[in-house]
Amino acid sequence: MVRVGVLKDSDGRVALVPQDAASLVKKGVEVFVEKEAGLNALFDNKEYEEAGAKIVTREEVYSNGDVIISVNFPLDLKLREGQTLICLTYFLWHRDRALKVADANATLIALDAIPRITRAQSMDVLSSQATIAGYEAVILGAELLPILMPMLSTAAGMVKPVEVLVIGAGVAGLQAIATAKRLGARITGYDVRESAQEEIRSLGAQVLQLEGARTEEKGGYAVEQPEEFLKRQQETFEKQASRTNLIITSAVVPGTKAPVLITKKALENMPAGSVVVDLAAQFGGNTEVTKPDEIVEYGNAKVVGYTSLPARKPRTASTLFSKNIVNLLGLLIKDEEFQFDFSDQIINDCTIVYNSELRHPALKSKEQ
Ligand SMILES: NC(=O)c1ccc[n+]([C@@H]2O[C@H](COP(=O)([O-])OP(=O)(O)OC[C@H]3O[C@@H](n4cnc5c(N)ncnc54)[C@H](O)[C@@H]3O)[C@@H](O)[C@H]2O)c1
């Protein structure tokens, strides 16, 4: 029998919701949930107990679970030999913590290393959380702007629609475009990947064209751009900024520092009362002034650097995250046992530490 422990997260999301705890219990999994783990997402202890889970202390989650699940990479990491931790790791930024898992002879499944293949879509935590981040970025931007989003024709006169620029049209950027569209804004979208252009257009936004990018993709992801091209991007956005009220940036290349695309000059060029929501804040930020988890005022803009926007909608975020986790566990649990079949690409790619062995090339290469 597999024993799954659910840790309480610091950002208020929970990795397993009661409904999914019930489905695991039905399949013969024993579930231990840290006291009040779901409270911030409005799932109380009683709901977990009714689902057949046991409410325990944090120490008991660590001591009882064969598999420990968490949204974020826990700081306390009280893992023992043979245990498996499943969470978002961003292990290239938190390499020390990944090594600590290996030191404990434990196993680490990085949800952020699940391959972007069709079969893995139902387990893709990055996508489910990025969807919420994109939505929330627009809602937050609309809240901070001193003007309305849609065009209005009133007896007191016309109100012009807000001009929105979305830079980076991955999962979060496309959701930001769709959300801004629903609120009636006029939107321009941009991405270095050519395949993103059609998606931007299909959501009713204009495409900003800029020749000369490295457009190749690695596993669906963009590649790093040369200095010279980044400079041209900055200059383009400096011009575009003067007619843009809300900029949402989400440009990242996994494993690297986010490119600085919005300069101080661009922020000075924006109309008074403008807002920039930087979804790359966690990876160094897409603006020159972004500070993680702060709102910085510079030039004519407020630059929002919140690093955990999905946590601002904890109930939806947890519900989707939990479903992703249950789908992943469905792949890992066979005949009521936890099994690592490395011939399966999904299991192979996301198991970055296996019983002390560093399996991910990036962890291995830095080891030497
Ligand atoms: N399972 C699947 O098949 C699956 C699931 C999710 C996403 N995807 C694909 O994976 C890809 C990455 O999606 P993501 O949301 O994780 O992306 P991401 O969060 O890694 O990056 C966000 C966006 O930033 C863009 N970007 C990088 N550098 C830039 C620059 N200098 N200027 C402008 N834009 C820049 C990227 O092209 C990307 O669209 C997309 O093609 C997406 O459709 C596939």
Structure tokens at 339: 């099994």
Question: Catalytic positions, please?
Answer: 116, 121, 124, 127, 221
Q: From the CB of 121, is ligand 1 less than 6 Å away? A: yes
Q: From the CB of 296, is ligand 1 less than 6 Å away? A: no
Structure tokens at 21: 């705890």
pTM for the model: 0.95
Gap from CA of 131 to ligand 1 centroid (Å): 12
Gap from CA of 272 to ligand 1 centroid (Å): 31
Q: From the CB of 189, is ligand 1 less than 6 Å away? A: no
Instruction: Name the DSSP class of 333.
Output: E
| pLDDT of res. 368 | 44
Mutate to test the pocket of ligand 1, among 132, 167, 253 (most ligand atoms within 8 A of CB): 253
Gap from CA of 221 to ligand 1 centroid (Å): 5
Which amino acid is residue 128, in one-letter code? S
Residue 67's φ and ψ, nearest 5 degrees, are -120, 125
Task: Please state, in angstroms and rounded to a whole number, the distance separating the CA atoms of residues 114 and 26.
Answer: 26
Q: Are 105 and 355 a contacting pair, CB within 8 Å?
A: yes
Q: From the CB of 221, is ligand 1 less than 6 Å away? A: yes
Kindly report, as residue ranges, where domains of CATH 3.40.50.720 are found in the chain: 3-113+313-356, 131-312
Q: Which of 77, 133, 113 is nearest to 248 (CA)?
A: 133
Domain spanning 131-312 has what CATH number? 3.40.50.720
Gap from CA of 129 to ligand 1 centroid (Å): 13
| pLDDT of res. 365 | 67
Ligand 1, atom 8: closest residue by C-alpha: 116
Q: In the chain, where does DSSP find H-type helix?
A: 18-26, 45-50, 58-64, 95-103, 125-144, 171-182, 195-202, 227-241, 264-269, 314-332, 345-350, 361-367
Residue 223's φ and ψ, nearest 5 degrees, are -110, 165
Pick the CATH number of 3-113+313-356 from 3.10.105.10, 3.40.50.720, 3.40.50.1370, 3.40.50.620: 3.40.50.720
For the segment 21-56, what is each residue's pLDDT rounded down to a tens digit?
Answer: 999 999 999 999 999 999 999 999 999 999 999 999
Q: From the CB of 308, is ligand 1 less than 6 Å away? A: no
Residue-wise pLDDT tens for the chain (368 aa)?
999 999 999 999 999 999 999 999 999 999 999 999 999 999 999 999 999 999 999 999 999 999 999 999 999 999 999 999 999 999 988 999 999 999 999 999 999 999 999 999 999 999 999 999 999 999 999 999 999 999 999 999 999 999 999 999 999 999 999 999 999 999 999 999 999 999 999 999 999 999 888 988 887 788 899 999 999 999 999 999 999 999 999 999 988 999 999 999 999 999 999 999 999 999 999 999 999 999 999 999 999 999 999 999 999 999 999 999 999 999 999 988 999 999 999 999 999 999 999 999 888 865 54
Gap from CA of 222 to ligand 1 centroid (Å): 6
